[in-house]
């Protein structure tokens, strides 16, 4: 489960394109931040993705990936040209294949090979037609789904939604957000040539005039129970309300938001309807990482938590420049996992009511983020030394705050909430550092 959103320059305060995403996955699944440099390959080489091999490009671009530690692909990320993509699980009436490219594989390939949002759209469509989508994407459970994508560059954005081999695409005009549901209706800019005729043949609609992609192709049961309608509606309401003055602060507000029924109770009950998703039930996930991108010709500035639970986490500034030490390389997966798990302990201690003053921590966190914002506002983006200095200071300040808070923990674990919620989190925390049980995909 996830939520992704974008505001084009005609809808933001400073004319930049602002992209943001929460990744909602298994609470124990590390979402790591990995940087992969440009690479060249011999003609005819093959690329091993999560489950299948595909043709490799002769050159790939530099990318920053926020990815589950055990998968080749990524939930979200960017490349050296400022291209950004986020992936969503969607539930449709088409069959789920046992193998193929995962949506996260497709996302990474597009980032590695494309420069613009339209190029990435074409690449994703090509990959879907040539290799198909499929394979288990669950960390500690079998979980298969189809995929949607929000693609953005410095000037434009597209939504691509799929159902098996079929797809529809919509060019973003101002603001747009997607969740775990098909959201393109009867109007779209591009589509699979047989999209409508297939639906008519299946009896999902009467004719072309009656066609609505989301209504015809959605699995209504799984889509409803995903909580995606509430999350998408909540995100769209904020974007629409601040249209014309949207900033990264707007995106933080959305990514940290909770459904009205659970606001203030998020550490004692689960909620699939919250954009800042909190786990604790048989179905549903937990927000394991958050990401915001501000894209302009002047600079591409990223805000990354590197940790779960955005209502607790610190958004830290990041630039894709030489010499930074925040992102890990692909050979440092173990270190990246440890980084994520150390911050995840804050979330677990909050659930266990072992942090003496959560409000003091949150106040300190907000002060840190305000100081980061001031530093960014005063930047000369051509000064890479200053960018590195800000990143290093931000990372050190966040680490110090996290460690101070963890070291302040007192008492015995005392999880509040219902019986199942308490059992769920006790079991999850006990298994936090255990290896992933499934062995059907290689570790990175």
Q: Please give the radius of gyration of the chain, using alpha carbons only, rounded to the nearest integer.
A: 21
CA dist., res. 231 & res. 2, Å (int): 9
Q: How far is CA 283 from the centre of its chain?
A: 19
Closest CA to 287 of 66, 435, 13: 66
First to last CA, the chain: 22
List the alpha helices (DSSP H) in 269-379. Answer: 333-351, 358-377
Catalytic residue, candidates 2, 49, 114, 216: 2
- Helices (H) and strands (E) counted in the chain, each on its own, are 11, 18
Rounded (to 5) percent helix, strand, coil in the chain? 35, 25, 45
Closest CA to 62 of 40, 39, 43: 39
The answer to whether 114 is a known catalytic residue is no
Closest CA to 182 of 89, 284, 274: 89
DSSP three-state, residue 438: coil
The C-alpha torsion from 349 through 353 and 356 to 358, rounded to 10°, is 80
Q: Read out DSSP for 178-225?
A: E-SS----S--SEE-TTHHHHHHHHTS-SSGGG--HHHHHB-HHHHHH
CA dist., res. 181 & res. 161, Å (int): 9
For the annotated catalytic residues, the residue numbers are: 2
């Amino acid at each position: 489960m996830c939520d992704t959103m974008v505001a084009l320059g005609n809808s933001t305060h400073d004319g930049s394109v602002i992209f943001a995403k929460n990744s909602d996955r298994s609470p124990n699944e590390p979402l790591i931040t990995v940087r992969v440099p440009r690479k060249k390959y011999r003609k005819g080489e093959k690329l091993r993705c999560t489950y299948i091999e595909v043709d490799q490009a002769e050159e790939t671009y530099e990318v920053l990936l926020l990815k589950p530690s055990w998968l080749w692909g990524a939930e979200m990320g960017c490349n050296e040209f400022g291209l950004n993509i986020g992936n969503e699980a969607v539930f449709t009436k088409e069959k789920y294949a046992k193998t193929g490219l995962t949506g996260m594989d497709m996302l990474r390939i597009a980032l590695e090979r494309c420069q613009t949002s339209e190029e990435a759209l074409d690449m994703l469509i090509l990959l879907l037609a040539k290799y198909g989508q499929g394979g288990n994407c669950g960390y500690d459970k079998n979980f298969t789904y189809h995929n949607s994508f929000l693609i953005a560059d410095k000037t434009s954005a597209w939504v691509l939604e799929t159902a098996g081999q079929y797809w529809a695409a919509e060019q973003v005009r101002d603001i747009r957000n997607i969740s775990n549901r098909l959201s393109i209706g009867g109007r779209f800019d591009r589509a699979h040539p047989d999209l409508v005729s297939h639906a008519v043949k299946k009896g999902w609609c009467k004719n072309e005039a009656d066609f609505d992609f989301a209504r015809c192709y959605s699995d209504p049961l799984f889509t409803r129970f995903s909580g995606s309608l509430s999350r998408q509606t909540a995100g769209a309401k904020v974007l629409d309300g601040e249209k014309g003055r949207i900033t990264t602060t707007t995106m933080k507000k959305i990514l940290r938001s909770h459904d009205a029924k659970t606001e203030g109770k998020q550490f004692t009950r689960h909620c699939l309807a919250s954009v800042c998703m909190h786990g604790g039930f048989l179905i549903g996930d937990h927000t394991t990482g958050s990401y915001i991108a501000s894209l302009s010709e002047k600079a591409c500035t990223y805000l990354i938590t590197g940790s779960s639970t955005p209502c607790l986490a610190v958004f830290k500034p990041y630039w894709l420049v030489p010499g930074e030490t925040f992102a890990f390389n692909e050979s440092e997966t173990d270190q990246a996992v440890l980084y994520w798990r150390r911050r995840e302990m804050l979330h677990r201690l909050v659930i266990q009511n072992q942090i003496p003053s959560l409000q003091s921590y949150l106040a300190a966190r907000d002060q840190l983020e305000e100081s980061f914002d001031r530093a960014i506002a005063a930047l000369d983006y051509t000064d890479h030394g200053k960018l590195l200095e800000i990143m290093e200071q931000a990372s050190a300040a966040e680490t110090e705050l996290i460690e101070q808070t963890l070291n302040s923990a007192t008492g015995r674990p005392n999880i509040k909430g219902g019986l199942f919620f308490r059992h769920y989190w006790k079991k999850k925390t006990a298994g936090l550092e255990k290896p992933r049980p499934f062995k059907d995909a290689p570790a990175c």
